[in-house]
Amino acid sequence: MILLPCLIPLLPLAAFAVNLFFGKRLRARAAWVSVATSSISCLIAFYCIATVVRTGTMKAQWVWIMLENTPLRFGYLIDPLACVLLFVVTVVGTLIQVYSAGYMHDDPRFTRFFAYVSLFMSAMLTLVIASNYVLFFMAWEVMGLCSYFLIGFWFEKPSAADAGRKAFLVTRVGDVGFLAGLMTLFAVTRNLDFESLGASAQAGGPLLAVAALLIFCGTIGKSAQFPLHVWLPDAMEGPTPVSALIHAATMVAAGVYLVARSFPLFEIFPDVLTVVAITGTLTAFMAAFIALTATDIKKVLAYSTISQLGFMVAALGLKGYGAGTFHLMTHAFFKALLFLGAGSVIHGTGTQDLREMGGLFGKMRHTALTFLAGSLAIAGVPPLSGFWSKDEILAAAYQSGHGIIYYVLLLTAFMTAFYMFRLVFMAFFGKPRSPGIHAHESPAVMTVPLWILAAGAVLIGLPGSPLMGNWLGRFLAGPHTHGEHALNLVVMFSSILAGLGGILLAWLFYVRAPQLPGIVARRASLLYRMSLNKLWFDEIYHVLIVRPFCFLADLLYGFDQKAIDGIVNETGLATVRTSRLKAWIDTYLVDGTVNLVGALVQLSSALVRRIQTGFVQHYLLMILAGILVLIFLEFRP
């Protein structure tokens, strides 16, 4: 029974092994191996969640390594926070895998896709239930690897291969910080377990603040926060279900989960929390600003993801522990839904460019309706899920006393509603813009997960809403009692106003008066170009980091080629030369001596064997001669 939660990550791992080794024989059945294991994990996770709700945290630990009397353990810890993530990851993950079976149907590397996805599920679930930082970090890195594999899944396209590499390298920057943070933490407290983190961190000095900041670097990388957000939009080169699973719902949320897990540590240092809050707010605003002008349907959603992750991070930075986690959960549902809807649109139309779409509502009714539900949820229209979670974050910001953060987040919420409905109106309403596109609805294997996720996007906010008495908040709060927020009507009304205002403005711009966007773009030309060029982040990084590194690499390559290889080659040539000399000595001097001895023996024996005539009488004569000699010697005078 104690080992039951271990099965949650182990089952997808088994599916990974099966798909990896028997994929060729399984073919289309590979999808069902992954889906089946994931579903069973989901059921076990539900059982564990029920147990936690009834009886409290489940945990077990085993000693792994002894480091000078300090044990390094591994094990699982399923507390309310882990429960939320377990629920999200298993449910959303399973649905997305069902959807992938339809979406990836014609791909030649179908089985490999499901092997990777299963490996990812295994790593993500390990991360969720990990009881300490070491196991957490290992799972974190495996996820990064899977992310790299899946972004570059269509590696024949150079852009996909580049995007995979970019994602891997950029997140690595954050991971180095994370690892350094773990080392600092361990050096100070001698403890990496989550459960006793708060107690052991109490005694720490300023070095722990450094550790907290370094750990936050991991979040910046993985959750695509400013300034390491540049990899996530490019990650959209991967298959759309991957974008939904890894780059929207689960993996990028792991960074937020990391901060939530380390919350007892962050809590001690208000300054660090301020850094977290500012980073989150800045990211949320910046990404929403860029999303305003993006024309690729997946890029809009990618920037939206960055923005929403910024919301979560900001919430955690404002001590809204429950609010951030709540938003993580609702976001996973509606963003997975939006990505899968976008995938369905791409599947049906064959294009990702919003400017070529239009009027899809009539042709793709299931996709359009579910997409609309997701958009309403993210825009924050009550009583859909996004409203409740975003409202809690805004309330946390309002109460924190950081007025600027509150207003920036409110503005971001307004922009979120605007860009989402810009997307909806451009894609699904109006007239078809491109005559070459003949849209068709996707098969049931893709639309059924959409409907289930849509139901989730609509309803999943209720457990955390005042309608159910903030049940989720109280469930999560446990030791963190400040997760409680009274119903704040000012915040609620301004939030509703921001959401509806954004939708209305989008309707005005893209349905009512389609000439308006052009006019605005001309009037605010600088702002427009800033948004369109993504604030030139890629270009700045290219000049500041990529170019010097390439130059350095070229330099080192030259050095390697000339100096190191030169020395090695000279050594080799010298060896060849000396061995030639040795070969000559061996052939002529050593072999000569040996052959000379042999020749001498042959020569002397050629002389001696003349005596052996073969005539018996000759031998007899010699005997006689010998006897005569003996006699002569005997009778010598």
Residues 6+ apart with CB under 8 A from 241: 96, 97, 99, 100, 103, 104, 117, 339, 340, 343
Both tokens assigned to 586: 């061996």
Both tokens assigned to 590: 């050593």
Cβ proximity to another protein: between 157 and 618 the closer is 618
For residues 188 and 125, the answer to whether their CB atoms sit within 8 Å is no
As a 3-state breakdown, the chain gives helix, strand, coil percent values, each rounded to 5, of: 80, 5, 20
The CA distance from 195 to 264, in Å, is 9
Cβ proximity to another protein: between 108 and 614 the closer is 614
The CA distance from 517 to 395, in Å, is 32
Tell me the CA end-to-end span of the chain in Å, nearest whole number.
120
Closest distance between another protein and the C-beta of residue 595, in Å?
Answer: 23
Closest distance between another protein and the C-beta of residue 624, in Å?
Answer: 7
Closest distance between another protein and the C-beta of residue 607, in Å?
Answer: 12
Closest distance between another protein and the C-beta of residue 620, in Å?
Answer: 6
Closest CA to 504 of 579, 414, 564: 414
- Other beta carbons within 10 angstroms of residue 489's beta carbon come to 8
Closest CA to 376 of 461, 439, 433: 461
For residues 208 and 151, the answer to whether their CB atoms sit within 8 Å is no
The CA distance from 471 to 477, in Å, is 10
Closest distance between another protein and the C-beta of residue 581, in Å?
Answer: 44
Cβ proximity to another protein: between 593 and 613 the closer is 613
Closest distance between another protein and the C-beta of residue 599, in Å?
Answer: 19
Cβ proximity to another protein: between 599 and 622 the closer is 622
Cβ proximity to another protein: between 573 and 624 the closer is 624
Cβ proximity to another protein: between 199 and 625 the closer is 625
Closest distance between another protein and the C-beta of residue 572, in Å?
Answer: 54
- Sequence length of the chain is 637
Closest distance between another protein and the C-beta of residue 602, in Å?
Answer: 13
> What stretches of 43-148 adopt beta strand conformation (E)?
58-67, 70-78
Cβ proximity to another protein: between 62 and 615 the closer is 615
Question: To 10 degrees, the CA torsion angle through 32, 33, 34, 38?
Answer: 100
Cβ proximity to another protein: between 561 and 613 the closer is 613
Cβ proximity to another protein: between 55 and 612 the closer is 612
Both tokens assigned to 461: 């906010």
Closest distance between another protein and the C-beta of residue 597, in Å?
Answer: 22
Cβ proximity to another protein: between 564 and 628 the closer is 628
For residues 125 and 76, the answer to whether their CB atoms sit within 8 Å is no
Closest distance between another protein and the C-beta of residue 604, in Å?
Answer: 14
The CA distance from 486 to 483, in Å, is 10
Residues 6+ apart with CB under 8 A from 383: 461, 462, 465, 467
Cβ proximity to another protein: between 511 and 628 the closer is 628
Strand partners, 63: 73
> Which residues would be at the binding site for another protein (CB under 8 A)?
609, 612-617, 620-621, 624
Closest distance between another protein and the C-beta of residue 613, in Å?
Answer: 6
The CA distance from 335 to 377, in Å, is 9
